[in-house]
């Protein structure tokens, strides 16, 4: 009687071990499936965000830099009314100047294309060569080395193609701006909820997460105001000078000046100096001197005055770090990278500092 009971006990223990192993395998399988599904979900969400990257980044940026007027409005009206006022104001500030500038740029490009196609460019080049034989000769040698298909009419045809693609891009841009304003309304109306959700996603204690979000907001404000807004002011002042001094295609040069001012290592110097040389060689050295004084004293130094006033000490990122982050962001994310690049670099630096602080705490505790 003992032997059968012993066998039964052994069988029960074996079945128990097998059941326990089966439960462990089922748990691991469920966890593995959960991780896989979560990773797929994150990848799909990242793809969705990538498709709408510019509207989302633009809306988040505008919601951040308009925080002070939002607080003023919230003391006088509800969140929905505040969000509507901010959205309509930003929409007017983006669409109206954008339409005027885009139309003027297209008109100037078409005008330059017609000028090249009419043969007047050759006449102007001959006059310039007669006035400055050495420089004109070098320019003429460069033009002579071009292929025959680079004639004025074909250049005009290519420019017309660029204008057509530009109009298509403009239509796409209007759609992107409409989405940006749509997201901006909800970012402003539900700002506290969005901030709480973002803080909850950061794997740090609440106090440190809030500090990280606040620091990133300062970086967004500094990049937008300190780079984009100041660059716009510099480009506007340069454009006024180009127009008053009679520089052809003044608006194009003004836009190029603003673009160069966004990148810290470049600046307006790379545009107004060649324009001043053109004025001196082809028009008047007096006008060239005026532009040189205006560009050197006012335009190129404007960011040194406005940046500390508007931004202050809201970010301690070095100029080289900002330069690298903006260029890297542009390469990786396109125009949205102007803001995303510095934000990602700043977040990485802050997280590395947090890791170092935790390491020092562990060392002291040990």
Q: What are the sequence ranges of the domains in the chain?
A: 2-51, 53-189, 202-366
pLDDT value of residue 146? 47
Q: What's the confidence (pLDDT) of residue 262? A: 76
Task: State the average pLDDT over residues 106-134.
Answer: 60
Under the banding of pLDDT at 50, 70 and 90, the label for residue 184 is very high
Are the CB atoms for 218 and 347 separated by under 8 Å?
A: no
Q: Is residue 190 predicted with pLDDT exceeding 60?
A: yes
pLDDT one-digit tens code per residue, 270-320:
888 888 888 887 778 888 899 899 988 888 888 777 776 666 566 667 777
Average pLDDT (9-15) is 59
pLDDT > 60? residue 128:
no
**How far is it, in rounded angstroms, from Cα 357 to Cα 355?**
5
* pTM, 2 dp: 0.68
pLDDT of residue 1 exceeding 50, the answer is no
Identify the residue with better confidence: 327 or 161. Answer: 327
């Amino acid at each position: 009687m003992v032997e059968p009971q012993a066998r039964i006990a052994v069988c029960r223990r074996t079945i128990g071990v097998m059941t326990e192993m089966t439960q462990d395998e089922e748990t691991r399988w469920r966890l593995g499936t959960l991780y896989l599904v979560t990773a797929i979900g994150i990848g799909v969400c990242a793809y969705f965000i990538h498709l709408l990257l510019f509207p989302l980044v633009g809306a988040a940026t505008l919601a951040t830099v308009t925080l002070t007027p939002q607080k003023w409005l919230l003391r006088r009206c509800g969140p929905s009314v505040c969000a509507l006022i901010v959205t309509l104001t930003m929409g007017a500030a983006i669409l109206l100047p954008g339409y005027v500038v885009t139309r003027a740029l297209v008109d100037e490009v078409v005008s330059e294309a017609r000028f090249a196609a009419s043969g007047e460019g050759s006449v102007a080049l001959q006059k310039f060569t007669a006035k400055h034989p050495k420089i004109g000769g070098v320019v003429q040698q460069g033009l002579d080395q071009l292929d025959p298909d680079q004639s004025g009419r074909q250049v005009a045809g290519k420019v017309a193609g660029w204008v057509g693609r530009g109009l298509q891009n403009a239509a796409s841009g209007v759609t992107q701006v409409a989405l940006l304003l749509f997201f901006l309304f909800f970012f402003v109306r539900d700002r506290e909820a969005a901030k709480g959700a973002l803080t909850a996603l950061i794997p740090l204690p609440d106090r440190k997460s809030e500090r990280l979000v606040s620091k990133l907001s300062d970086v967004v404000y500094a990049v937008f105001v300190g780079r984009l807004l100041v660059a716009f002011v510099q480009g506007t002042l340069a454009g006024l000078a180009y127009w008053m001094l009679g520089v052809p295609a003044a608006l194009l040069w003004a836009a190029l000046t603003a673009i160069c001012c966004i990148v810290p290592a470049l600046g307006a110097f790379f545009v107004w100096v060649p324009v001043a040389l053109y004025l001196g060689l082809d028009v008047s050295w007096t006008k060239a001197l005026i532009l040189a004084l205006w560009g050197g004293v006012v335009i190129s130094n404007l960011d040194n005055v406005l940046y500390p006033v508007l931004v202050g000490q809201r970010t301690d990122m070095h100029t080289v770090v900002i330069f690298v982050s903006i260029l890297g962001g542009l390469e990786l994310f396109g125009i949205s990278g102007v803001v995303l690049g510095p934000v990602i670099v700043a977040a990485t630096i802050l997280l590395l500092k947090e890791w170092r602080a935790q390491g020092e705490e562990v060392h002291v505790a040990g």
